[in-house]
Amino acid sequence: MVTVHIRLVGGKKEKKCDPVRVHAKSSLDELEKKIEELTGIPKKHQHVEHNGALVRESSMVSLVSFKTVKLNVKHAHVKLFAKYKSCVEKAKRRIDPHDNVIQAVKYYEQLQSGGIFKIYTEMKAFSDSYHANVAAWTDGNINLIRKATWEYFKERHDEKRGEEESDFECKFEKRDAVFGGRSANTIAKVRMHGESGVVTYNVKPHHNAPTLQTAGREPDIFELLQYPLLHKIGVCPKALIIPPTARAGTRTSTYIATVWDGDLQLLQDIRNRDLTAEIMVQLVMLRVLLFITDLHKQNCGRFGTTNNLAVIDFAPNKQYVVHDKIENAMWEICPHKRLKDQWQRLRDQHDRNSWLKIAKVYFEKWELAKNVEEARMDLEPIKEDLKGRDIRFLPREKMNSPTPQLEDYIAKLYRNIHNLKIVLESLPN
């Protein structure tokens, strides 16, 4: 029998493993299996040295001639971690941030797959502290958005086609201003199995993921609920929640793809005299009832020449409150500061009752109480999918779990719906 002393190196502190006894005729493969048991380093990622030379490249082809063997073992990705750390630190100091962030994500992917963060606690601590930042910095990168989008639709295509042969199409175009929203958006033209034509999607990072922030921001569970809700009440195109590509190694990048309706006309393209009180009241309702902000000219419009509001981008409000005097909120709250002049002009053409009567038309049309519950049910599988990918949600009001956050939000939403219903039912004919 041979006594083998294994010392784990490569980290800040060396670690001596308990000596093990192995048979003198054990092969190197068997020895490497024993090393994996003791250190946790998979065989293919082991860097094992004996007397300063790699065991696989040394003259030590067997253990027969030894009574005692001393081995230094480290993970083969130790040098790769140093490169990853260098890229992250350079990006933090704004040294070629774009290139360094992209490279850091590639290194992270290799490190994660190799399991190095399970071996060295200080490397895991560094990754836990800074990789959320890296993820947030990459959120606005068009290439990563497109990569995640392509993988998402390809997976849906494969699920639909089963064993059938079917062509998949996913092409990307630069976002044109006509699509509205933010410059970080991209356009995807997709045709999956069973679809007769190409469907155009406007794809954007989730709203709480701006580019090159100093801290990562998790997706907001409210935003993920509001998209299906807005679609159900008819003011937003159908939206799909696209999780980050596993190969990007991010924890905060979540993307939202809305089906593009070519009949949509943005507010920025509507003449002031053509902007109606009906559109403005609907914007106020979204702000007051559903706690939605960022409802400006580039994010909102109408479908065709109708008075039906269309929203293509927005932000969830940081504060959501119950309006006990909701008739005052409906009269006094402007949907966005950039719309203040138009809001003031249109409101001045009405009294409170006539303004609220417009709201009553859309309140009844939207059927909010029913659609809130349906949107919540639609969100459940999406929420579980993101949680399964270890994607955290934005904490609110000292609630770390998305479930109580959502319950609190929906409870306040229902109270506002109830309060407005009472006000609208009491309006004179």
Q: Of 44, 60, 75, which residue constitutes the final position of a domain?
A: 75
Distance CA(287)–CA(340), nearest Å, equals: 14
Is residue 32 a part of any domain in this protein?
A: yes
Tell whether 276 and 386 lie within a shared domain: yes
Q: Can you give the pLDDT at residue 65? A: 66
Residue 320: CB atoms within 10 Å: 18
Is residue 397 a part of any domain in this protein?
A: yes
Tell whether 334 and 387 lie within a shared domain: yes
Domain that holds residue 63: 2-75
Is residue 43 a part of any domain in this protein?
A: yes
Tell whether 328 and 393 lie within a shared domain: yes
Tell whether 13 and 116 lie within a shared domain: no
Is residue 386 a part of any domain in this protein?
A: yes
**CATH number for 47:** 3.10.20.90
Q: What is the DSSP string of 284-319?
A: HHHHHHS-EE---TTTEEEETTSS-EEES--EE-S-
- In the DSSP assignment, the letter for residue 235 is S
User: What angle separates helix 368-388 from helix 402-425, to the nearest 10 degrees?
Assistant: 170
Q: Can you give the pLDDT at residue 216? A: 43
Domain count within the chain: 3
Tell whether 344 and 300 lie within a shared domain: yes
Tell whether 360 and 385 lie within a shared domain: yes
Tell whether 332 and 379 lie within a shared domain: yes
Tell whether 91 and 14 lie within a shared domain: no
Tell whether 99 and 71 lie within a shared domain: no
Tell whether 131 and 271 lie within a shared domain: no
Is residue 255 a part of any domain in this protein?
A: no
Q: Can you give the pLDDT at residue 210? A: 40
Is residue 12 a part of any domain in this protein?
A: yes
Q: Which of 56, 54, 55, 63 is nearest to 3 (CA)?
A: 63
Per-block average pLDDT, block size 10, for the chain (429 residues)? 90 91 81 91 92 73 73 95 93 78 85 92 86 57 78 91 88 67 73 92 68 52 91 92 61 76 82 92 97 91 91 85 95 95 96 97 97 94 80 68 84 96 94
Is residue 396 a part of any domain in this protein?
A: yes
Task: Write down how long the chain is.
Answer: 429
Q: Can you give the pLDDT at residue 245? A: 63
Is residue 240 a part of any domain in this protein?
A: no
Distance CA(312)–CA(179), nearest Å, equals: 8
Q: Can you give the pLDDT at residue 223? A: 87
Q: Which distant-in-sequence residues (6+ apart) come within 8 Å of 138 by Cβ?
A: 101, 102, 105, 144, 248, 250, 253
Q: Can you give the pLDDT at residue 290? A: 94
Q: Can you give the pLDDT at residue 222? A: 87
Query: Alpha-carbon torsion 331, 332, 334, 335, what sign?
Result: negative
- In the DSSP assignment, the letter for residue 164 is S
Tell whether 6 and 125 lie within a shared domain: no
pTM of the full structure: 0.66
User: What angle separates helix 402-425 from helix 277-289, to the nearest 10 degrees?
Assistant: 130
Tell whether 269 and 127 lie within a shared domain: no
Q: Of 136, 159, 175, which residue constitutes the final position of a domain?
A: 136
Q: Which of 354, 55, 43, 312 is nearest to 202 (CA)?
A: 312
Q: Of 136, 160, 175, which residue constitutes the final position of a domain?
A: 136
